[in-house]
Structure 1
Amino acid sequence: MDQPFAITPRDIEEAAGRIAGHVLRTPLVAAPRLSELVGAEVVVKHENMQATASFKERGAVNKLLRLTEDERRRGVIAMSAGNHAQAVAYHAKRFGIPATIVMPETTPLVKVENTRSQGARIVLHGETLYESADKAREIAVAEQLTLIHPYDDAAIMAGQGTVALEMLADAPDLDMLIIPVGGGGLMAGNAIAARAIRPTIELIGVEAELYPSFLNTMDRQNRPIGGPTLAEGIAVKTVGELTLPIIRGLVADIVPVSEELIERAVNAYASLHHTLAEGAGAAGLAAMLKEPARYAGRKVGLVLCGGNIDTRLLAGIMVREVEREGRIVSLQLTSDDRPGLLGKVASLLGREGANILEVSHSRRFLDVPAKGVSIEVMIETRGVEHSSAIEEALAQNGFSLAPSGRGYL
């Protein structure tokens, strides 16, 4: 580590002492069901258990506690649409420091109100975080406020690096760390810390496929950047000037992950590990789902860096995963209309082990014979093979699938 990086291992050790008692020393938890899913020994660092459900508190506290008395009196300003905003606002209120947060005008109201409830002054400006950042700098100069950058700041990076200190204290035999990458503050801080403690450890960064900012910068490509992503916490278009040299020098690879993989990872955390992960927080697991052979047999540390996910969104993700597995199926059946028909269908489906979720029974459509009936039934099954067996049983009992056939919902 003879390169002139913005922070040193000593900076991170000092940050750990400074933030102790102000942020939670989160548990590193074995994840046997995730391990079985990906074929590696997986342990998870639960940063979703922080007061604002994100690792961002570590850097925010370290930065706030390093302010001079004059800086504390004048106050701080940050630009963020999410976790950084809440972390700065929450701890600034604890320390009695006036805080202003500049957020894009498109920020969901719930995030605006959550940040305002921490006592921060909210300024809504611009369509994107880039425009908010310009406004934050303008206000900082005009009002002599200290700008707290979400990632491109040495104190922020040092605070985030305390995650790896704790992980390697609890599991010194880790082979790999997989860490989500947005602007790079979390990855940079933890790269410095981890390589100082365990020089042979392999470090993997993960970006959302729609926001390959570090990939573009590091291999001089021009992949498109932008679009709606579940991992909005790492949806960053510009990499940090301070974070880039560290990541370029110490990180083995940057892995892009698709929206489908991020969804699958969020669902796996909820259904297999019984914890909440936002899209960015699940990105590390998404990388393992993408290339399980790469991690097979190794002991891998995942940083679940945030758990701020809307419950309705989570419910939708879990239903979509059931759809991918073919466990909810819609069948459109046609048959002669006769008394007791619905009962026969229900009994047959029950015998085959299907759970009926919804039934629609119609005689009035023109594509149904005058003496016929159309039945649309939504069922829950054990998967594709079970669904096929149910279809075969229906056919053997005189039912026909309509031309629209079967659909997975």
Structure 2
Amino acid sequence: MQSARRGPLLSFPPAAPHPSLPSRSSERPRSTLFKVVAFLPLVFIFALLAFAAYAVLYSLCLDYLLFRRRAYAKGTAYFLVYSWLLYGCGGSFWMAYWRGGGIVPGAGECKRGDEEARVQNEGIRGDVGRFVLGGGDEALVPEQEADEEEVDEAREEQGLLDPVTLPSGSRETWDKLDTRDSTRPAMLQVKSDGSARFCRKGWANYKSVLSILQPGALGLTTGAITFHELFNYVNDTAGGYELAPISTTIEAMEHPNSIATLAPASASSAPSPSAASHAMRRLQPNDLTYQQRRALTSAARALSIYDLGAKENLKQIFGDKWWEWGMPWGWPPGDGQTFPINSHNLSRLRRATEQIYAEAAATRYESRGGEYELETGSTTSGMSDEDGPVRRA
């Protein structure tokens, strides 16, 4: 005898399949211009993170600590901690765009998954309601949102759901957040007695706090690491920041009209007291009149010895290639502390300074009635001894 095939036994008739996924009425198709403009802040954030990775991970951890200082434990620890913070910051900002804006690639699939989860959740709620309220009796199935409280009470009486104490809001508000808000993923809420319920409330709050804490931790870590290593570098480098003797430095501070270059410590570590006192006597500001001091200041301002022109000045700061300006590569040559000098401006400034001081010496000689000789130097003294403010330039 041939047995007839029968479908699975169901205590309630299955719900009719949805013809298509429901679309959100509040959403509108976004233009390409809006997507590009909305994507620019994310590009800026990732550019900052990339520069931080180059400056700290490569320059400090790998190149300096590991390869030069041979501090393998410290460099590896800094590298791992900083890499994790960078990953957390980048992931937080990317997921914020992924879940909220629909701008980044792949966000459309995430939004479609939200719609599918919402449709499936509504179908499950209807099936459970039919099962709890009595077999296939369609008249007892709630059809409006006002009857959802009765469904919850019936499910609670059957022992299918433990009551959850809400901190604020009514049951209707909670259910509306639970089933209608499809922009947030489900999160399991566990009570103190062990009962649990899926809710859609904690994800956005947790991620928003995390997205604030991770950039803050990244900034504090960057400042702490760089300050600590700079402090160690200063302590380990003996005499690296004292390139001029203290006497020459004090002289330059007391007499700012002098444009004498500071000699290195190795070349003039023990200057002659007589030569220093004689130079200080020749550079008294009272030797010049107001017009002469003003002319000297104007000449020093107009004939800057470090001014190479707008184009060359930009190259000294940013590099030779303009398209590399602002990039983490393309650093200009040099140590960043010494710069080339414009020899043409230096010659003109020297002649102008010599002329002003010669005029001041002649005026002083005339005012004294010719009692003293002109203090323009003797035949045996060179330019480095008796040329006034341009000595050793």
TM-score norm. by structure 1 comes to 0.21
Higher relative contact order (CA 8 A, sep 6+): 1
Q: Which structure dedicates a bigger proportion of its chain to strand? A: 1
Q: Which has the larger radius of gyration?
A: 2
